Amino acid sequence: MEQVEIKKRISLFIILWCVANLIHTISFVTFSNGISSLEVIRISILFLCVAQLIYKKGYYFFLPALLLSSMIVIRLPGSVPNHIFFEGIINITLLLFASYYIIKYYFFNLSIDQIEVKIYNTIAPFIRFSLVVLYFFVVLHKLNYDFFDPYISCSGDFFSRILEDFGLTNIEIIDKFHTNNYIALRNFSIYFAIISEAIIPILLLNKKLRNIGVLYGILFHIILALHFHGGIYSFSAMIFNYYLFFFNNKTVDTFLHYFNRRRFTYIVIAVLCLIGILYGLIPTDPNTLFLRSTTKLLFIGLIFFLLYAILYLFIFLKNFTSIKSLYDSEKTKTLSFRLKLSTGLVILFIFFTGFSPYLGLRTEVCFSMFSNLQTESNLNNHFFISPKLRVFSYQDELVTIKSSNIEYLKFYIEDPNTKLVPFELDRIVNVNSQDFYIDYEYRGEERKIERINGVVSGDRINIYSNLVLSKFLTFRPVLVKNKCQH
């Protein structure tokens, strides 16, 4: 690819990355308990992204924003949302390569143009490969019995929730249709989700059908974002950013034609200001889904995302004069998926992360979002991946919390069908600095752990852990009667 085209793609990547991170900030900043250190980082990224969108030239604001974004995942590798962890892996990889070539720039007289070409030719195949791997695990984890059960499937209530959350069931004809076709609608939601997530990467990998794959992906992720759950439209914004690496040159030019205008930057800033004003003016109502203190900003951000998504879709379609032109393979170049050794190792890490639940390792942050997947103890529900694959023992046993004065554990006490693995219990014991007690059941025995005057005593389960494992190994609550959880 020519150097001029690479410069354009890097420029567009930075713009789309900044918009996606603006949306991440709106999605994950709630101010529910004051301003946390994580929210300070998010707000700092927001200001840096706005500055980058205004200035556009150079990387003076983008690189610090990239560093701060990477710090979130480095600091909380087992506690961030799935897509933020995935984006973090890419951000960290990009940051390392940028650092490596900056050193070469200063000590080996490498030009900026040469650095941009080398970084793009390394990162572009890596991001394409990573995105296909992400879709692979999203589908793989859903291949379980509970996901296809319309009564408990995470995807089963997708369209029902959209109708209910936006008040459309208050319209008599819609409510009647919803009631009369309740199970059919849930089944449609299930198959719509898994077929879409399976077909998008296949289309992206096909030279002739790639543009159709991008178009279908855009439409699917816009629909997905309508489900009112924290982080979903943030996930869609991230995906839109990475679709850039499947664009042809004409599409990149069209996006830059719109996004390089000052008007676009001013509109983004005006909308962000409007979001702040609306957040302050709209009253909080704990009985209204969209107006609760923890979701009001999330809802306003959803409107911002939908405006951006419609613009993104409009610009993409501007390149094609007909349906036939979408699959004109003569104008679509073959994309490279060739990995270097270093990026190949990162891909292996992504694979390892995705396979973690089946190996007996972490069940949180492993790309299993909304999948109903269970691998703990004797609860494995996957169609064909056997629990015999489990080589680590972290998921072998379960703990039932009977009583405790720790606020976090009330969730487990109120529902005896919700259990946790011993590693999580050990983490809770280690992180609590106040005096506490925990009565729990393990292997059919009643046990107790307490902390009195700073000294922990009682029946602790012998679990191997250290600082690194405690950061990376995180486990979901185990729902014995499987229900949907993110």
> Do 214 and 194 share a domain, yes or no?
no
pLDDT averages per 10-residue partition of the chain, 486 residues: 89 95 89 79 94 87 95 90 96 93 80 88 96 97 94 86 82 89 92 96 93 96 87 94 94 92 85 84 76 76 91 92 71 81 96 96 93 92 93 93 91 89 91 91 92 89 83 90 71
d(CA 315, CA 387): 47
pLDDT tens by residue, 46-85: 999 999 998 888 888 999 999 999 999 998 888 899 999 9
> Do 57 and 176 share a domain, yes or no?
no
Is 388 inside any structural domain? no
Residues 6+ positions from 191 with CB-CB distance below 8 Å: none
Is 365 inside any structural domain? no
β-bridge partners, 478: 419
> Do 413 and 275 share a domain, yes or no?
no
Is 347 inside any structural domain? no
> Do 162 and 210 share a domain, yes or no?
no
The confidence score (pLDDT) of residue 77 equals 84
Tell me the two tokens of residue 167.
Answer: 């008040």
Secondary structure letter of residue 18 according to DSSP:
H
The confidence score (pLDDT) of residue 300 equals 84
Tell me the two tokens of residue 453.
Answer: 């005057």
Write down how long the chain is.
486
Is 341 inside any structural domain? no
Helix residue spans in 360-485 (DSSP H): 410-414, 422-431, 467-472
Handedness of CA 152, 154, 155, 160 (dihedral sign): positive
Residues 6+ positions from 239 with CB-CB distance below 8 Å: 131, 217, 221
Whole-prediction pTM value? 0.93
The confidence score (pLDDT) of residue 35 equals 80
Taking alpha carbons only, the member of 307, 27, 11, 3 closest to residue 315 is 307
Half-sphere exposure of 480 (CA within 13 A, CB side): 12
> Do 172 and 105 share a domain, yes or no?
no
The confidence score (pLDDT) of residue 332 equals 62
> Do 11 and 126 share a domain, yes or no?
yes
Residues 6+ positions from 163 with CB-CB distance below 8 Å: 169, 174, 178
Tell me the two tokens of residue 212.
Answer: 């159709």
pLDDT tens by residue, 315-350: 999 988 777 777 765 556 788 888 999 999 999 999
Is 425 inside any structural domain? yes
> Do 53 and 102 share a domain, yes or no?
yes
Taking alpha carbons only, the member of 118, 94, 153 closest to residue 1 is 118
> Do 133 and 161 share a domain, yes or no?
no
Answer with the one of 331, 366, 384 that is the final residue of a domain.
Answer: 331
The confidence score (pLDDT) of residue 191 equals 95
d(CA 177, CA 315): 35
Question: 255-260 long-range CB contacts below 8 Å, 24 or more apart?
Answer: 255/12, 255/315, 255/316, 256/8, 256/11, 256/12, 258/311, 258/315, 259/12, 259/15, 260/11, 260/15, 260/56
> Do 296 and 257 share a domain, yes or no?
yes
The confidence score (pLDDT) of residue 167 equals 80
Residue 273 near residue 50, CB atoms below 8 Å: no
> Do 87 and 228 share a domain, yes or no?
yes
The confidence score (pLDDT) of residue 212 equals 94
The confidence score (pLDDT) of residue 486 equals 65
The total number of structural domains that make up the chain: 3
Is 366 inside any structural domain? no
Is 135 inside any structural domain? yes
The confidence score (pLDDT) of residue 160 equals 82
Query: DSSP letters along 46-101, please?
Result: HHHHHHHHHH-SSSTTHHHHHHHHHHHHHH-TTTS-HHHHHHHHHHHHHHHHHHHH
What helix, strand, coil percent values describe the chain, rounded to 5?
60, 5, 30
Answer with the one of 331, 360, 381 that is the final residue of a domain.
Answer: 331
The confidence score (pLDDT) of residue 97 equals 92
Answer with the one of 283, 316, 331 that is the final residue of a domain.
Answer: 331
Q: Quick one: how far is CA 398 from the chain centroid?
A: 27
> Do 199 and 212 share a domain, yes or no?
no
> Residue 269's domain spans which residues?
3-142+206-331
> Do 197 and 215 share a domain, yes or no?
no
Handedness of CA 270, 272, 275, 277 (dihedral sign): negative
The confidence score (pLDDT) of residue 462 equals 86
Is 378 inside any structural domain? no
